[in-house]
């Protein structure tokens, strides 16, 4: 009893001290003299409430952990709720979900659709990296490099060869895949930490190259005025960019609205994501998918069965990279402007966080995590400077409650019924 109280008090005390450093003191400049002053009272009160909460949590730790272990489960994949267990039910559910996603842009605000499009880009990136990290078990910290390759492929092809988005899209995917292949060739002999470090370096090399090759890429100024994708040649601008071309609203005889463009981009992103999900689902069920999984489990056993680990890893790397390429070129088209700044290491980290948060290897988990990782920071904008703090807190809670991810991979096979 005694120790329970004192350890809780200690935890609360630490919270107070650390919290005071962050929230309690504010730094201001009067004239040229920087001064420190104690913050407004509501922050102090908030801090005290926080410390109180920590105290209570620590004091009733045994009771709290009872609840959390229940949520943690047995470390195995969780059973899905009753209405989505069979393949048929899942298909019906997926059908409804896609329907809802198709209707979504027509029923919500422009801002929401814009965020949803961004989310879909991250879903695509997460799914692509999931092949590399989740399925093949190769820790890739430079995934953003392939994303950059995709984005710059479209931007440069358009700039120098006047290529349209739809023509550049497959080329961007292929180029990113080629980069994945070229990088994978030498580095896939490495494993674990070493692989992570080399891929991290590769991501940085791409970014720095883009930053310094000013004649080709425009360097830190980036590339601006990248055209948006068209619908069978119909543009979404107010006036056609070339003489004689028709725009979307003119063609259909409706008045111009900038919302069409946003909705069109959203639907395109949705289409790309659905395609990605479909392709990867098929791959997982093919022998190569099973080989990825086997390789992740036991390298030596795979070799004893005549599998060539380098080729299989290379396959995962190349396929993962090509999805980043698609996402990248879509990103370039949506933003209309890209610069090396969009492809820093933090992007790689976010995409990796999506994969880990979702539960390695699980597609649905990755989709959910991508939504959480992009929408939550947006919703938390009101907390302005504490936004990232809140984000960190969420991650810590995840580690405590669901270390295996939101929806860990459910392997595509049937379990024996136990009665």
Partner 1 sequence: MLALEKVHTHYGPIEALKGVSLNVEKGEIVTLIGANGAGKSTLLMTVCGDPRASSGTITWKNEDITQTETAKIMRSGLAVVPEGRRVFSAMTVEENLAMGGFFNNTNYDERMEHVLELFPRLKERFSQRAGTMSGGEQQMLAIGRALMSNPELLILDEPSLGLAPIIINQIFEIIEMLRGEGTTIFLVEQNANQALRLADRGYVLEHGKIVLEDTGQNLLVNEDVRKAYLGG
Closest to 354 (Cα-Cα) out of 336, 371, 369, 344: 369
Distance in Å, CB of 412 to partner 1, minimum: 10
What is the SS3 assignment for 284?
helix
Distance in Å, CB of 290 to partner 1, minimum: 7
Count Cβ atoms below 10 Å from residue 4 Cβ, excluding itself: 13
Task: Tally DSSP H helices, then E strands, for the chain.
Answer: 17, 2
Nearer to partner 1, 116 or 355 (CB): 355
Six token digits for residue 119: 């989310």
How many angstroms separate the CA atoms of 364 and 370, rounded?
10
Six token digits for residue 77: 């994949």
Distance in Å, CB of 417 to partner 1, minimum: 9
Distance in Å, CB of 361 to partner 1, minimum: 10
Six token digits for residue 377: 């920071």
DSSP per position, 220-280: GG-B--PPPP-BTTBB-SSS-SSTT--BHHHHHT----THHHHHHHHHHHHHHHHHHHHHH
How many angstroms separate the CA atoms of 173 and 224, rounded?
21
First to last CA, the chain: 44
CA 369 to chain centre: 8
How many angstroms separate the CA atoms of 199 and 205, rounded?
10
Distance in Å, CB of 129 to partner 1, minimum: 21
What backbone phi and psi angles, to 5 degrees, belong to 115?
Answer: -65, -40
Distance in Å, CB of 296 to partner 1, minimum: 9
Nearer to partner 1, 87 or 162 (CB): 87
How many angstroms separate the CA atoms of 240 and 234, rounded?
9
Nearer to partner 1, 212 or 310 (CB): 310
Nearer to partner 1, 282 or 290 (CB): 290
CA 37 to chain centre: 39
Distance in Å, CB of 76 to partner 1, minimum: 10
Nearer to partner 1, 103 or 301 (CB): 301
Nearer to partner 1, 86 or 214 (CB): 86
Nearer to partner 1, 205 or 286 (CB): 286
Nearer to partner 1, 29 or 416 (CB): 416
C-alpha separations of 208 from 11, 329, 344 in Å = 44, 19, 10
Distance in Å, CB of 283 to partner 1, minimum: 16
Kindly list the residues in this chain that would bind partner 1 in the complex (CB under 8 A). 287, 290-291, 293-294, 297-298, 300-308, 411, 413-416
């Amino acid at each position: 009893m005694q120790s329970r109280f004192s350890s809780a008090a200690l935890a609360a005390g630490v919270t107070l001290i650390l919290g005071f450093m962050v929230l309690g003191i504010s730094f201001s400049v009067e004239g040229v003299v920087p001064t420190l002053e104690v913050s407004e009272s509501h922050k102090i009160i908030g801090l005290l409430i926080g410390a109180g909460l920590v105290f209570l949590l620590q004091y009733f730790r045994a009771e709290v952990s009872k609840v959390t272990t229940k949520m943690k489960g047995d470390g195995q994949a969780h059973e899905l709720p009753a209405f989505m267990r069979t393949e048929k039910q899942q298909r019906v559910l997926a059908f409804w979900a896609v329907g809802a996603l198709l209707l979504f842009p027509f029923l919500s605000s422009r801002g929401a659709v814009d965020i949803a499009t961004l989310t879909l880009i991250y879903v695509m990136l997460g799914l692509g990296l999931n092949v590399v990290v989740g399925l093949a078990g190769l820790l890739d910290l430079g995934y953003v490099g392939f994303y950059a390759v995709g984005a710059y492929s479209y931007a440069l092809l358009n700039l120098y060869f006047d290529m349209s988005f739809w023509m550049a899209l497959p080329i961007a995917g292929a180029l990113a895949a080629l980069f994945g292949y070229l990088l994978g060739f030498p580095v896939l002999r490495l494993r674990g930490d070493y692989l992570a470090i080399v891929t991290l370096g590769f991501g940085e090399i791409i970014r720095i190259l883009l930053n310094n090759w000013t004649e080709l890429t425009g360097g830190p100024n980036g590339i601006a005025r990248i055209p948006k994708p068209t619908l069978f040649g119909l543009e979404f601008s107010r006036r056609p960019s070339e003489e004689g071309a028709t725009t979307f609203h003119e063609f259909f005889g409706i008045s111009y609205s900038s919302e069409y463009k946003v909705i069109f981009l959203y639907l395109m992103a949705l289409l790309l994501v659905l395609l990605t999900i479909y392709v990867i689902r098929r791959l997982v069920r093919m022998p190569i998918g099973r080989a990825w999984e086997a390789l992740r489990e036991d390298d030596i056993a795979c070799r004893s069965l005549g599998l060539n680990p380098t080729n299989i890893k290379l396959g995962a790397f190349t396929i993962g990279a090509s999805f980043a390429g698609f996402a990248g070129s879509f990103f370039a088209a949506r933003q209309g402007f890209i610069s090396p700044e969009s492809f820093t290491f933090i992007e790689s980290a976010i995409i990796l966080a999506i994969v880990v948060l979702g539960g390695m290897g699980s597609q649905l988990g990755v989709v959910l995590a991508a939504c959480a990782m992009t929408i939550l920071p947006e919703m938390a904008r009101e907390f302005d400077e504490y936004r990232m703090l809140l984000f960190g807190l969420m991650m810590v809670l995840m580690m405590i409650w669901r270390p295996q991810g939101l929806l860990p991979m459910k392997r595509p096979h049937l379990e024996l019924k136990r009665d």
